[in-house]
Structures are given as C-alpha cells and as structure tokens.
Amino acid sequence: MSALWPALLPPSRHGDDDRCVVAADGVHLTMKDGRRLLCGTSGLWNVNLGYGNAAIADAIAGALREASYLGIFRYENELARQAADVLVELAGARHFSRVQFTTSGGSANDLVMKLVRQYHALRGQTHRRLIVGLAEGYHGLTFGSFALTSDSLGQQIYGVDRSLVRHVPPNDIRALEGLLERQPERVAAVVVEPLLGTGAVPLRAGYLDAVGELRDRYGFLLVADEVATGFGRLGEQFASRAWRKAPDVLITSKGLTNGTTPAAAVLVTDEVFDPFRRADALLAHAETQAGTATTAAAILATAGEMARLDAIAAARRLGSLLDRELAELVAAEPLVASVSGAGCFRALRLLTTDGRPLPQHEVGNVVDAVRTAGAVVHPGPQGIQLIPALTYTERQLGELLTAVRNGLARYAEHRVEAVSCRQ
C-alpha cells in the first residue's frame, strides 16, 4: 500500500484502487482499476471548464519556463499584476480596486478575518472583532476558516477558537438583526456564501438586500465568499454582481485556475483599502506559493478560456436543463425527496426504501453505488450533490442522471438484501 494519507477518508478506505485516479480528460476520469467514469463534481467543484484544457496547460508551462518561481512575498511579478487587473475587471472595476492572492479558499477566509479586524482597528474601532457567518455555511478547514465553518467537524478536539465567531440561520434576517441590536458595535464582518455549499441552499435576494441595508446601518463589512460560486457556477461570473447591495470584500478560489494550481484571491473596494493606504499599514498575511507567476498565468488563461468558450452562457443553458431534468427525477424517483440549489450546483435529499430521510452514515454507500453505475458524485447532507462542469453537453447530463438513477436502484437493492439478511 502507498504511504499516501488521503484527505477525509478513514484509514479503512486507504489504498482502494476504486478511488485512485490515473488520468482525466474533458469530463471523464480514468481509474487505476481501468474504469472510465463521468465526473459529476467538476473535480472538487473547481474544474469548471473540464479537464485537460490545452490553453491553460500551455500558459502554465510557459510561465514555468520563463519565470519558474516568482512570488509576491515582499516583491511583485508582472503576471500577478495582470491577473489582479483582470479579476478586478471581471468582478466590477467600478467597485473593487485591490486584490490579495492566497493559495486556498480556507486561507483566503483566514486572510479576510485578519483584514476586517485590522480595517476597523485602523479606523479606531478596535472593539469590532466579531465575525458572523451563517449556519450550514462552509468556509474551509484552516484554523480561522474552521472557526467560521458552522458544521461541527471536530473544532473542539483541535482547539479551534470560536470565541469571536457567531452563526445565525440563513435567510433569517431577524436573527441577524437581533444579534446586531445586542452587540451593535462589535461585529466586524458578516460573511455569506451566495449559495451555502454544504446543503446547496441559495440565499434569497430579499435577504441579501436586507443584509446590505444592515451593513449600511451598523457599519460592518459585508463579505461574499464565492469560493464555490465564482467563475460561472450560478450562471454569473460572480453571483454577488447581481446583489443590489454590493459586498465590500469578495473571495474567489475554486474555478479561478480551473483546478490546475492552488489559488485564491481576495478582492476589496477602495474604501476598504483606504485605511491601509493612509496608515501605510502592512496586512500580516503572506504565503510562499501565493500569487506566483505560474498561478497568475493559470488565472489569466482560465479567464481567457471562459470568454472563448462562452462559459457563462453555457452555464445558464445547463442550469435550465437541470431545472427541467431534476424536476422529472423528483417526480419519477421514489428515493429522491427534494432538490435544492441553483445553476450548476444542486443537491438531492434522499430517502431510504422505507421512506425515511437517508441517514448520514448511509450517504457514502449511495455515492459508492452511483460510482459503480458509472459516475462520480459528491456527498451532501442526507443525500448527494451534482456539480457538473459548465461545459457539459445535454447528452452528458443525461448520462449523469442515468448513473444516479441506476446507482439509487443498486443502493435500494442492496439495502433490501441487507435488511432481509438481518431478519
């Protein structure tokens, strides 16, 4: 067995060739056991344009030959400058003005938690230190982001400090307003995902409007965590561009390089950057591999390929197809209780064969059954997530949903057999 310790797999599942990928192209994976599977997860929600994009690979190779390692730790590099300018343009140049690069969505959330507290401190408001997130929100597993992630995933065991973090229910403006009324001058920022990744729960437009109005009234910073939703996942370059009350800070990561290099970016408005500029203040965050020339080349090439492939329009078409096909799936498949999500980010809540909500410990068995049926899907709360590449064809979507149906049938058959054996 290999010495590899894979992430989020118990030791009993290490070394399984059924989970070992040896190659990927387009929207398919080739496994070590020889099977060719349809990818229904866009990698880890990050390969929005499919695997093996030649333009992105060539851009990275060129940067490696010409620049090797060039970072942004006390220096700048020209490709990072260009990538920052492109991101500001994509996110809205009339709104955002500065970009800080990191290597992951988790580390970007860590950076943001530092940034918003220092922003207020530079303005003489050192008491503003609370960060508010949403219940069911996911922001990463590094120590800062782990505190902000609401699910109980062992934070207490690992000694994660959550004393300066609060969580309120999503789409419940009264809960947030109540917290602000109790502690009106302590909240530094409210961090929201346009669609909560754990359960694929979209935030309603009216709720986002109200959060923006509370921001204007109470003076906290509004942060849009678009790690998962950026780069077309919900049918917009960034979902927060459609908000009536624009965020002060934007985080993006997963689709940023089409999954080719570790990268994330934090964009801020000129108003947020201004206290740092006036005080000539350092933000104490830096990473060796953040903003390297190779990463910047990947960002620039990904943005170019998004435009060339008209990926936003493709995402909207695929989202409409998912609306139709998943409605039919719910109507026809007794094990599917409901569908949530939007655009190209969906979750299926499932039932057992006796009509009860699928226990969480059974989700892995459903994922395995769908993989046996020919597709890779992601586990979710009491069900599975479908996160196809934006470039999926209608035929490929049909193949994915066929694998889901066959996988559910296989799971149901095995569960009935297991119950019969116990009896």
289 and 317 share one domain: no
288 and 347 share one domain: no
228 and 321 share one domain: no
Does residue 80 lie within any of the structural domains?
A: yes
Query: Which pLDDT belongs to residue 415?
Result: 72
Range of the domain at 397: 310-422
pLDDT digits (tens, 9 = 90+) for 320-356: 999 999 999 999 999 999 999 999 999 999 999 899 9
278 and 353 share one domain: no
Name, in order, each residue with C-beta under 8 angstroms of 313's C-beta and a sequence gap of 6 or more: none
Name, in order, each residue with C-beta under 8 angstroms of 227's C-beta and a sequence gap of 6 or more: 105, 108, 109, 139, 140, 193, 197, 251, 252, 253, 254, 264
Does residue 224 lie within any of the structural domains?
A: yes
283 and 398 share one domain: no
Does residue 215 lie within any of the structural domains?
A: yes
Task: Compute CA distances 383 → 208, 262, 391, 399, whole Å.
Answer: 27, 28, 24, 19
- Residue 382: closest CA among 339, 413, 318: 339
pLDDT digits (tens, 9 = 90+) for 221-233: 999 999 999 999 9
**Confidence band, pLDDT 50/70/90 cuts, at residue 198:** confident
- Give the helix, strand, coil percentages of the chain, each rounded to 5: 45, 20, 40
Residue where a domain stops, chosen among 287, 308, 329: 308
275 and 331 share one domain: no
Does residue 85 lie within any of the structural domains?
A: yes
Write the single-letter amino acid at 113. Answer: M
Residue where a domain stops, chosen among 252, 287, 308: 308
Query: Which pLDDT belongs to residue 1?
Result: 82
The span from the CA of 315 to the CA of 326, in Å, is 16
Cβ 229 vs Cβ 264: under 8 Å: no
pLDDT above 90 covers a percentage of the chain that reads 94
> Is pLDDT at 14 greater than 60 in this prediction?
yes
Cβ 17 vs Cβ 32: under 8 Å: yes
397 and 370 share one domain: yes
> Is pLDDT at 416 greater than 70 in this prediction?
no
68 and 190 share one domain: yes
**Could you give the number of structural domains in the chain?**
2
278 three-class SS: helix
The structure tokens listed for 23 are 């190659």
Query: Which pLDDT belongs to residue 172?
Result: 98
Average pLDDT, the chain: 96
344 and 233 share one domain: no
Does residue 6 lie within any of the structural domains?
A: no
Query: Which pLDDT belongs to residue 417?
Result: 54
* Interstrand relation of 383-386 and 195-196 (parallel, antiparallel or unpaired): unpaired
Does residue 32 lie within any of the structural domains?
A: no
Q: Is the pTM of this model over 0.85?
A: yes
**Confidence band, pLDDT 50/70/90 cuts, at residue 197:** confident
Domain CATH number, residue 335:
3.90.1150.10
400 and 346 share one domain: yes
Residue where a domain stops, chosen among 286, 308, 330: 308
Cβ 149 vs Cβ 162: under 8 Å: no
CA atoms within 13 A on the CB side of 57: 8
Does residue 48 lie within any of the structural domains?
A: no
pLDDT digits (tens, 9 = 90+) for 15-44: 999 899 999 999 999 999 999 999 999 999
The span from the CA of 319 to the CA of 316, in Å, is 5
> Is pLDDT at 419 greater than 70 in this prediction?
no
Query: Which pLDDT belongs to residue 422?
Result: 53
246 and 181 share one domain: yes
Supply the DSSP symbol for 307: H
Domain CATH number, residue 281:
3.40.640.10
pLDDT digits (tens, 9 = 90+) for 242-296: 999 999 999 999 999 999 999 999 999 999 999 999 999 999 999 999 999 999 9
**Confidence band, pLDDT 50/70/90 cuts, at residue 93:** confident
Mean pLDDT on 125-139? 97
Does residue 232 lie within any of the structural domains?
A: yes
Residue 411 backbone class (left: φ over 0; alpha: ψ -120 to 50; beta: rest): alpha
292 and 352 share one domain: no
Quickly list H helices, 67-194: 78-91, 105-122, 143-148, 155-158, 173-182
Query: Which pLDDT belongs to residue 421?
Result: 53
150 three-class SS: coil
**Confidence band, pLDDT 50/70/90 cuts, at residue 199:** confident
